[in-house]
Structure 1
Amino acid sequence: MDNLLRRTILGAAALAASAALAGCAVGRPGPPPKQPEEPVTPQRYTYGDDPSQFAELYLPAGEMRPGVVVIIHGGYWRSGYGLDLGQPLAQDLASRGYACWNLEYRRAGNGGGWPETFADVHAGIDLLATAAGDHGLDLTVTTALGHSAGGHLAVWAAGRSTLPDGAPGAGTPTVQLTGVVSQSGVLNLADAHDQGLGDGAVLNLLGVDPAEDPVRYRLADPMTAIPLAVPVLALHGEDDSTVPLSQSDSYATTAVAAGANAELIMIPGDHFAMITPGTEAWTRVVQAVDRLMLA
């Protein structure tokens, strides 16, 4: 994605977000949240000294639903893209009563890559425990919502407890994800590398080819963590030309065959409609979030 496309994405998302704040909740029934008159002002929490090691907490202005939504942005893991992509999503979900944790992390080009990006996502999710203590948040239901490369990181993070000692993110998580909504996630790294997706984005993230370091690929690839113990809803845009359908389909098919709770859900629109509040695609995303949060 070039700079012009990025500006187009952000501009559309910002306009749609403003309109969507006046919308009503969709999906499965839940307590009707009070709509805020002004956008929610997020609170920043840091988990390291790097400028990219922080998260934004969005708290609903009115009645709060149980649980927290962890938002992980995409951008093919590159430093040109940041958590501003997740801000319209957090604002919209907060208007529906959800507490949201919009996570930033080091990306390739600003100190990220292997293993820093993975270590940051691990630490950034666990930092949510501090915010929960400050505000009395309920973490018994914690759903990760990840778009594109963020979908990869969300599904990877849901399997942290299965990682071997010494791997980035290994050990018992302080905050355990209870489900994942992947929005056209890059869920099959080996295949994404072979296809050269994102102009070599996987190689840029991991720094080596699979043949050079197969262990690194196994530790980073959601496919090798199958079956997960938590549900994964793999949403994919019907008109997505940025991340191929095979990325979501291969993951969901393999996961189901292994006995995991996973589902491929096709939704209308392209790669960016699903991160643009006000679109039909975003409505379907909210329904998926409701499904996991209100189960």
Structure 2
Amino acid sequence: MPDDAAVARDAAEQDSAFAHPAVRPDATAAYGEHADQVVDFYAPRGAADRAAPLVVVLHGGAWRAPYDRAHVSPFADFLSRRGFAVASVEYRRGASGGLVPVQGGPVPAEGGVGSAEGGPGSAQGGLGSAEGGPGSAQGGLGSAEGGPGSAQGGAGPVAGRWPDTLDDVAAALDALPGLVRTALPAADPHRIVLTGHSAGGHLALWAAARHVLPESSPWHRERPAPLRGVVALAPIGDLRVADELGVCSGAVRQFLGVTGPGGDAGDADALFEERRAHADPAVLLPTGIATTVVQGRTDIVVPQAVSEAYADAAAKAGEVVGLTLLEDVGHFPLIDPAADACAVVAEEIAQLAF
């Protein structure tokens, strides 16, 4: 268990990251009919004599509904001010209440945060507000107030929707080239770097590995995605290790749809392994795509051990994954424009993009 000083430091870093007001995109385009099936686009700032590299951002939040793309909009804006074109992808996340039955997927809550009824980031609700928005100090991710992923939060909102979350990420990235041509003509579709934070880091690593999926998988690609690389930020990159460590209060099993009241534990474990084969980046290796993981050494939300397990799995598969470990950095500075760690992230992206 983290000591009091570590918890206090994490809370301060989280407060800093979420203190920035949400930044509205220059354009938004839909890749599906659901309110969460949209991509926000941020045009590169400053004059340029050629199209800018495109950074695709997948937000985190333990795959849970209260945490939408609004909380990474300052990070997306930060990257655009560094000369990148940015596409911030929204996707369907967990329901706002209840648990997932062992044999079924989560049932969306009526009017939950981030739903079509006007929650933050929805089609009607716009970007989240500064008052109690996603990941705020009042019950935010990993906070001490009992929000999703906290020690006091219990099961909390369900993490992810199996298989909808992965359906959406796959569909968004497949649709992206066409959307970019219309919504963000300043972007260079031939220079794409995929990045994501926390659960979004998992999704980024997974999306880059779809060609490694079994051919029977609905998300399988014939060829690797046309990416310059992936920069995964404190990713939940090894689902087994993250589950063993209890990352985000059982979010991994909730994400895979294998936890809930009733049912047989043996059946749940079997289903966990079955679905992990289609969803765990540590299994889907090697990808052949340049990959860097950026991890804070003092991260108590997604511990360093999870990133190290992913890098070790890649090495065993014959692939070298860069692992940048930042001293005295926790989970949230990686997406905090006010933190030095965020500048390191931008540099790692630039090394792949330019």
TM-score, L = length of structure 2: 0.70
Determine what percentage of the aligned residue pairs are the same residue. 33
Moved more, 165-174 or 244-253: 165-174
Q: Which amino acid aligns with 1:258?
A: A
Does residue 222 in structure 1 map to residue 226 in structure 2?
no
Does residue 118 in structure 1 map to residue 166 in structure 2?
yes
**Alignment-derived partner of residue 321 in structure 2:** 262
- In the alignment, the residues of structure 2 paired with residue 281 and residue 227 of structure 1 have an alpha-carbon distance, to the nearest angstrom, of 28
Alignment of 1:90-105 (within 5 A): 90-105=76-91
**Alignment-derived partner of residue 59 in structure 2:** 73
Q: Which runs of 4+ in 1 moved over 6 A?
A: 5-10
The correspondence for 1:241, drawn from 300, 317, 320, is 300
The correspondence for 1:141, drawn from 173, 191, 198, is 191
Deviation string 1:84-103 (CA, Å, 9 cap, x unpaired) is 12211110111111000001
**Alignment-derived partner of residue 30 in structure 1:** none
- In the alignment, the residues of structure 1 paired with residue 43 and residue 225 of structure 2 have an alpha-carbon distance, to the nearest angstrom, of 18
**Alignment-derived partner of residue 292 in structure 1:** 352
Is the Cα–Cα contact under 8 Å of residues 285 and 317 in structure 2 kept in the other structure? Answer: yes
- In the alignment, the residues of structure 2 paired with residue 116 and residue 71 of structure 1 have an alpha-carbon distance, to the nearest angstrom, of 18
- In the alignment, the residues of structure 2 paired with residue 193 and residue 131 of structure 1 have an alpha-carbon distance, to the nearest angstrom, of 36
- In the alignment, the residues of structure 2 paired with residue 103 and residue 173 of structure 1 have an alpha-carbon distance, to the nearest angstrom, of 22
Distance 1:83 1:53, change over 3 A: same
**Alignment-derived partner of residue 46 in structure 2:** 62
Is the Cα–Cα contact under 8 Å of residues 30 and 38 in structure 2 kept in the other structure? Answer: yes
The correspondence for 2:271, drawn from 171, 193, 212, is 212
Give the superposed CA RMSD.
2.5
**Alignment-derived partner of residue 43 in structure 1:** 27
Q: Which amino acid aligns with 1:120?
A: D
Runs of 5+ unmatched residues, structure 2: 1-8, 97-107, 109-159, 259-267
Query: Where is the helix percentage greater, Structure 1 or Structure 2?
Result: 1
- In the alignment, the residues of structure 2 paired with residue 57 and residue 186 of structure 1 have an alpha-carbon distance, to the nearest angstrom, of 25
Q: Which amino acid aligns with 1:234?
A: V
Deviation string 1:233-286 (CA, Å, 9 cap, x unpaired) is 111112111111111111112213322131111124110111101211111111
TM-score, L = length of structure 1: 0.83
Q: Which amino acid aligns with 2:276?
A: Y
Moved more, 104-113 or 114-123: 104-113
**Alignment-derived partner of residue 27 in structure 1:** none
- In the alignment, the residues of structure 2 paired with residue 251 and residue 50 of structure 1 have an alpha-carbon distance, to the nearest angstrom, of 32
Is the Cα–Cα contact under 8 Å of residues 17 and 89 in structure 1 kept in the other structure? Answer: no
**Alignment-derived partner of residue 16 in structure 2:** 12
Does residue 184 in structure 1 map to residue 240 in structure 2?
no
Deviation at 1:130, TM superposition (A): 1.4
Deviation at 1:184, TM superposition (A): 0.6
Is the Cα–Cα contact under 8 Å of residues 52 and 186 in structure 2 kept in the other structure? Answer: no
Is the Cα–Cα contact under 8 Å of residues 211 and 224 in structure 2 kept in the other structure? Answer: no
Q: Which amino acid aligns with 1:132?
A: V
- In the alignment, the residues of structure 1 paired with residue 239 and residue 269 of structure 2 have an alpha-carbon distance, to the nearest angstrom, of 10
Deviation at 1:287, TM superposition (A): 1.2
Does residue 198 in structure 1 map to residue 202 in structure 2?
no
- In the alignment, the residues of structure 1 paired with residue 83 and residue 332 of structure 2 have an alpha-carbon distance, to the nearest angstrom, of 24
- In the alignment, the residues of structure 2 paired with residue 66 and residue 148 of structure 1 have an alpha-carbon distance, to the nearest angstrom, of 26
Is the Cα–Cα contact under 8 Å of residues 10 and 331 in structure 2 kept in the other structure? Answer: no
Moved more, 123-132 or 281-290: 123-132
- In the alignment, the residues of structure 1 paired with residue 57 and residue 242 of structure 2 have an alpha-carbon distance, to the nearest angstrom, of 22
- In the alignment, the residues of structure 2 paired with residue 87 and residue 11 of structure 1 have an alpha-carbon distance, to the nearest angstrom, of 15
- In the alignment, the residues of structure 2 paired with residue 6 and residue 237 of structure 1 have an alpha-carbon distance, to the nearest angstrom, of 11
Runs of 5+ unmatched residues, structure 1: 19-38
Larger CA Rg, structure 1 vs 2: 2
Is the Cα–Cα contact under 8 Å of residues 230 and 261 in structure 1 kept in the other structure? Answer: no
- In the alignment, the residues of structure 2 paired with residue 191 and residue 180 of structure 1 have an alpha-carbon distance, to the nearest angstrom, of 21
- In the alignment, the residues of structure 2 paired with residue 293 and residue 84 of structure 1 have an alpha-carbon distance, to the nearest angstrom, of 24
Deviation at 1:127, TM superposition (A): 2.0
Deviation at 1:199, TM superposition (A): 0.9
- In the alignment, the residues of structure 2 paired with residue 74 and residue 6 of structure 1 have an alpha-carbon distance, to the nearest angstrom, of 16
Distance 1:136 1:42, change over 3 A: closer
- In the alignment, the residues of structure 1 paired with residue 199 and residue 292 of structure 2 have an alpha-carbon distance, to the nearest angstrom, of 15
The correspondence for 1:88, drawn from 49, 63, 74, is 74
- In the alignment, the residues of structure 2 paired with residue 280 and residue 6 of structure 1 have an alpha-carbon distance, to the nearest angstrom, of 16
**Alignment-derived partner of residue 161 in structure 1:** 211
